Amino acid sequence: MGAGLKFSIVTACYNSGATIGQAIASLKTQRWAEIEHVVIDGASSDGTQTIAQSTLGTGDVFVSEPDKGIYDALNKGISHSTGDVIGFLHSDDVLANETVLQRVAERFLSSGADAVYGDLQYVKASDTSYVVRHWRSGEFSRSKLGRGWMPPHPAFFMRRSLYESLGAFDTQFRIASDYDSLLRYLSHPSINVAYIPEVLVKMRVGGASNGSLKQIIRKSKEDFAVMKRHGLNPYIALPYKNLSKVSQFIMRT
């Protein structure tokens, strides 16, 4: 990848009319020039399609059709991507500032990394300036995976060639497929990973994994299954993974 590194940013959406305009705006203000936005809509009925189509550029991709859930939609987005690097911007999230992709690109180019990740803030749904949790990822080490460590998926960027060789999302998981995929990538012995100690994405609370107690319980069950699949001890990794979130509330200020 040379100086003309191109991003494909995938957004999966369904009836996201209230927020998708802000997500797209945060991408359109990025200072990095070569960006392809791939929006996969699940046949919305609330005006999402109109908002997306009116704000996307000529080099962007828009697909609207029924899907089998968010991971199916993200897989479609990956298949439509043509960039060197793929990232994900959920329809109710925003990039933290206008230099995010510039910083990510610079790290790819200076380090030769296969993947680059940063930090994330959970913010109030009605006020993205109000921080609820601050997820500081920390430097990567494979030994951390056994203690339930993972970077925030929306702040994770990886070469498209690795999605092609290592696979995308397993749709049998409804909530934890991002965790499953990250374990698959980060446990690979030859992957080279770089960390940017900055907030790259602001995520509104109330999503698929944290919107209710029922969703949190289902997420924990899926995390347990994912850990067993990848040879981790879930009786060690799952408590560590959940307890690590406590400090995120403390660090939010």
Q: Write the pLDDT tens digit of every residue in 124-149.
A: 998 999 999 999 999 999 999 999 99
List all residues 6 or more positions away from 98 whose beta carbon is below 8 Å from its beta carbon: 29, 30, 31
φ, ψ (nearest 5 deg) of residue 45: -125, 15
Every domain of the chain and the residues it spans: 7-250
Question: What would the mean pLDDT of 72-85 be, rounded to a whole number?
Answer: 98
Helix (H) or strand (E) holding 86: strand 85-88
Is residue 1 very low, low, confident or very high in pLDDT (cuts 50, 70, 90)? very low
List all residues 6 or more positions away from 163 whose beta carbon is below 8 Å from its beta carbon: 78, 86
pLDDT at 197: 97
Instruction: Report CA torsion sign: 171, 163, 35, 209.
Output: positive
Q: What is the Cα–Cα distance from 31 to 116, expressed in whole angstroms?
A: 18
Question: What would the mean pLDDT of 10-27 be, rounded to a whole number?
Answer: 96
Both tokens assigned to 202: 């602001």
CATH of 7-250 among 3.40.50.1100, 3.30.70.20, 3.90.550.10, 3.40.640.10: 3.90.550.10
